[in-house]
Chain A
Amino acid sequence: MRRCLALIAVVSLALVAWATEITFWFSGGDPTLDLPIVKQQIEEFEKATGIKVNFVVIPWAEDPHMKLQVAIASGKAPDIAKIGSPFEHVLARYGVLEPLDQLIPTEVLNAFIPAVLEDSRYTAEIPADLRGKLISIPYFTDVRPILYRKDIFEERGVPAPLDWTWDDFVKYAQQLTFDRDGDGQIDVYGFGTSAHYASQFVIFVWQAGGKVLDENGYPLFTSPEFLEGIKFYWDLYHTYKVVQPGAVDANLADVRKMLAEGKIAMYIDCGDSAKVLYEELGDKLGVGLLPRHPRTGKYTGFSGADAFVILKQSRHKQEAAKLLLWLIDKDHMVEYCKAVGFTPARADAVADPAFAQDPIKAMFARQLEDSQGWIKHPEASFIARTLRVEVQEALAGNKSVEEALKSAQEAVVSYLKEKGYIH
């Protein structure tokens, strides 16, 4: 009997030791907020499937995208990773991602918000075998509406920012820029922003009907619509003077802090910031929609996403896909997004009362109806940098808006030509 028990114990231990282990890299995460939830979900997954998960968290401050590149280059890539979109398009350009079309059932894909899922399809020409394929699965979206101080809006007699135009936006931002204590210094600025982030100004281009690249990947920085959008952003700084000092190169976390301190009346940011601000401000925090362009009627917001990818180097793609499916299960996604404050990528998760009945989260869902992500181009990083630098040059008064956009156009055209993306 003893021998039999010992044999069973040895066999069980061997089975545990031989159980498939997959490595999961998780970019970002907060140990006090979402990570306990993910860990719990992974433990449940391990119990349910017998697949062991080596869960590795890499905070954003440690540049997980760079670490992933190094891991890929050294042949030690994880099986599955959560990354910030559109980085998957860069990875796909170099053929290091596994297409997911065959690994994820159609009924699961149908549950996603179509526009959000569409951003996970590879559209570039190279490599040709990936074109049109699904290269990632979105986890959540982080659309950026207006976050504002209800108390300051009320103090200045400004209505909630819901259905408003660019003209209203300027009028109200001017009304919200004021000297409270009468010492001759502005105490509150109407609009907080930072030109350090392309997401803060490219929305005005989209609202004016402009695009960053055309269908053939050719930059459109000198188009009238693009110029109109950037000129409007420039006017907020220099003509209407409603923007806080230092906005040419501010850190967005500082802008958020300024809203909390009541030094600005509104700014544009995503769900996790709204969650943090709500904890600090309570009902003083409001979420509104971006202003509509008077001609196009668009109120387009910038949407980003975090997405899951399965690496080509993985030896356990099926097991990695099982974990992916586990994490994007509706209930798991709702549980995760409730904790972090982001909008889920699945339509059925957005319809959950936790989001549909929460006034703040519901407003994010409304902004998502007119939203757009940053370009899905392998050279997205260079394009964003060039554009950002030239817009900052214009805002700093070193160039006119026209000159800055012309410089950006020339630099990006020359670079993309050299890389063979355009001819």
Chain B
Amino acid sequence: MRKTAREALVSYSFCLPAYLIFTVFIFIPILWSFILSFFDYNILTLSAPRFVGLYNYTKLIKDQVFWVSLRNNALYSIVYVPISLILGFIFALLLNDNFPGRNFFRMAIFIPSVVSLVIESIIWMLIFSAHPSGVINRFIRIFGIPPQGWLSDPRLALFSVAIFMIWRSFGYNMLLYLAAMQNIPAELYEVAELDGAKPWQKALHITLPMVKPTTFFLTVTSVIDSFQIFTPIYIMTGGGPGYSTTTVVNYLYQKGFQEFAMGYASAMSYILFIILVILTVIQRKGFRAEQITL
């Protein structure tokens, strides 16, 4: 056996476990759920799934709850993605400076993103309590604002969940921005200082463009995350009141595992997949166009 072929074989054998895991636990289920989306399949039906062609997709287009969930996802994404990114960037800027206690603040802000989401959801349910003695309601009372049903008012519930998730995730964004900022050559700031640039000008004209790959990465992953939100909704609101906090994944879960329409749920997951691919391509193009302009 030639040396290169032997080396290739060794390399492939090292990769094999990872490929096997990917194939069995990710690729095959993805493919299988795509096939299922063309079938009427109930997980409890021991007989074969019934082929229905595009019926699940056409039914989905007419399903008002699906559109409401999609709208909720879009609203949530519009609030969650930019705010968590902006906060992550601002805190990274602040905590990139050298000052006593810097590591404590970094850790304090990052910790929520590694604590169990379930536990945090339960804690925030208490914070958002609608009773006049609830934590936030007590706070807003100082300003003369009456108690609000943070999770029980359809107008507020989705935004309340978004506030919680922003609090949870901006620490992670901050960490990635911090890593990116530490790779920016110090000379750039020195030159800017010689030219009399103010801190905000340095942040806007040096830091922000230099961390653009991180911004792109965080935007894409945050949009995907925001469209896949499930756990906090499941725990904090159950998708209610009404359908005001039902997101696509919550609805998909409801259809698949509570109403047993597995084919329909698979079709929904593929629509979500297509939406996410489109959004990612748009973002990618947007960032590229900006790079050319720069």
B150 / chain A contacts, CB cutoff of 8 Å: 246
Q: Interface stretch among B12-20, B69-77, B85-93, B236-244?
A: B236-244
Q: How far is the CA of A123 from the CA of B74 in the complex (A)?
A: 43
Tell me whether A73 and B151 are in contact (CB under 8 A).
no
Q: Is A318 an interface residue (CB 8 A)?
A: no
Question: Known: A244-B131, A246-B129, A396-B154. Is A195-B258 also a contact (CB below 8 A)?
Answer: no
B108 / chain A contacts, CB cutoff of 8 Å: none
Interface residues of B in 59-98 (CB under 8 A from A): none
A122 → chain B, closest Cβ, in Å? 15
Interface residues of B in 242-286 (CB under 8 A from A): 242-244, 254, 257-260
Choose one: A70, A254, A396, A398; the contact of B43 (CB below 8 Å).
A70
Choose one: A69, A244, A248, A390; the contact of B44 (CB below 8 Å).
A69
Tell me whether A395 and B147 are in contact (CB under 8 A).
no
Q: Is B173 an interface residue (CB 8 A)?
A: no
Contact sample, A vs B, 18 pairs, CB 8 Å cutoff: A72-B43, A72-B46, A73-B44, A90-B260, A93-B44, A94-B42, A196-B238, A244-B131, A246-B129, A248-B152, A249-B240, A250-B152, A385-B254, A385-B258, A388-B240, A392-B241, A392-B242, A396-B242
Question: Digit string of B33-59 for contact with A (CB within 8 Å is 1, else 0)?
Answer: 000000000111110000000000000
A381 / chain B contacts, CB cutoff of 8 Å: 258-259
Interface residues of A in 197-221 (CB under 8 A from B): none
Q: How far is the CA of A247 from the CA of B130 in the complex (A)?
A: 8
Question: Digit string of A254-296 for contact with B (CB within 8 Å is 1, else 0)?
Answer: 1000100001000000000000000000000000000000000
Question: Digit string of B151-164 for contact with A (CB within 8 Å is 1, else 0)?
Answer: 11110010000000
Q: Is A382 an interface residue (CB 8 A)?
A: yes
Tell me whether B44 and A389 are in contact (CB under 8 A).
no
Choose one: B129, B132, B240, B260; the contact of A392 (CB below 8 Å).
B240
Question: Known: A94-B42, A94-B44, A94-B45. Is A249-B151 also a contact (CB below 8 A)?
Answer: yes
Chain A interface mostly: helix
Chain B interface mostly: loop
Tell me whether A246 and B151 are in contact (CB under 8 A).
yes
Q: Which residues does A use to contact B, with CB under 8 Å?
A: 63, 66, 69-70, 72-73, 90-91, 93-96, 185-187, 195-196, 244-251, 254, 258, 263, 379, 381-382, 385, 388-390, 392-393, 395-396, 398
Tell me whether B242 and A389 are in contact (CB under 8 A).
yes
Tell me whether B131 and A245 are in contact (CB under 8 A).
yes
Q: Is B133 an interface residue (CB 8 A)?
A: yes
Closest 9 pairs between A and B when the two form their complex, measured CB to CB: A246-B130, A94-B44, A249-B241, A246-B152, A245-B130, A392-B241, A249-B152, A249-B240, A248-B152
8 more A-B residue pairs beyond the given contacts A249-B240, A254-B125, A263-B131, with a C-beta to C-beta distance below 8 A: A73-B46, A94-B46, A95-B46, A185-B132, A185-B147, A196-B241, A244-B131, A250-B130
A66 / chain B contacts, CB cutoff of 8 Å: 257
Q: How many residues of B contact A (CB 8 A)?
A: 32
A385 / chain B contacts, CB cutoff of 8 Å: 254, 258
Minimal Cβ-Cβ distance residue in A for B237: A249
Tell me whether B152 and A247 are in contact (CB under 8 A).
yes
Q: Is B112 an interface residue (CB 8 A)?
A: no
Tell me whether B259 and A258 are in contact (CB under 8 A).
no
B254 / chain A contacts, CB cutoff of 8 Å: 385
Minimal Cβ-Cβ distance residue in B for A394: B242
Q: How far is the CA of A393 from the CA of B151 in the complex (A)?
A: 14
B122 → chain A, closest Cβ, in Å? 9
Q: How far is the CA of A389 from the CA of B260 in the complex (A)?
A: 19
B123 → chain A, closest Cβ, in Å? 13
A396 / chain B contacts, CB cutoff of 8 Å: 153-154, 241-242, 244
Q: How far is the CA of A393 from the CA of B246 in the complex (A)?
A: 14
Q: How far is the CA of A72 from the CA of B44 in the complex (A)?
A: 7
Choose one: A70, A73, A245; the contact of B147 (CB below 8 Å).
A245
Tell me whether A186 and B257 are in contact (CB under 8 A).
no
Q: How far is the CA of A73 from the CA of B41 in the complex (A)?
A: 11
B43 / chain A contacts, CB cutoff of 8 Å: 69-70, 72-73
Choose one: B241, B257, B258; the contact of A248 (CB below 8 Å).
B241
Most buried by A among B129, B132, B237, B242: B242
Tell me whether A254 and B154 are in contact (CB under 8 A).
no
Tell me whether B240 and A196 are in contact (CB under 8 A).
yes
Interface residues of B in 192-228 (CB under 8 A from A): none
Most buried by B among A250, A379, A395: A250
B40 → chain A, closest Cβ, in Å? 10
Minimal Cβ-Cβ distance residue in B for A194: B152
Q: How far is the CA of A286 from the CA of B78 in the complex (A)?
A: 48
A73 / chain B contacts, CB cutoff of 8 Å: 43-44, 46
Minimal Cβ-Cβ distance residue in B for A246: B130
Q: How far is the CA of A219 from the CA of B133 in the complex (A)?
A: 40
Q: How far is the CA of A13 from the CA of B256 in the complex (A)?
A: 45
B154 / chain A contacts, CB cutoff of 8 Å: 248, 392-393, 396, 398
B258 / chain A contacts, CB cutoff of 8 Å: 381, 385
Q: How far is the CA of A339 from the CA of B252 in the complex (A)?
A: 38
Tell me whether A186 and B242 are in contact (CB under 8 A).
no
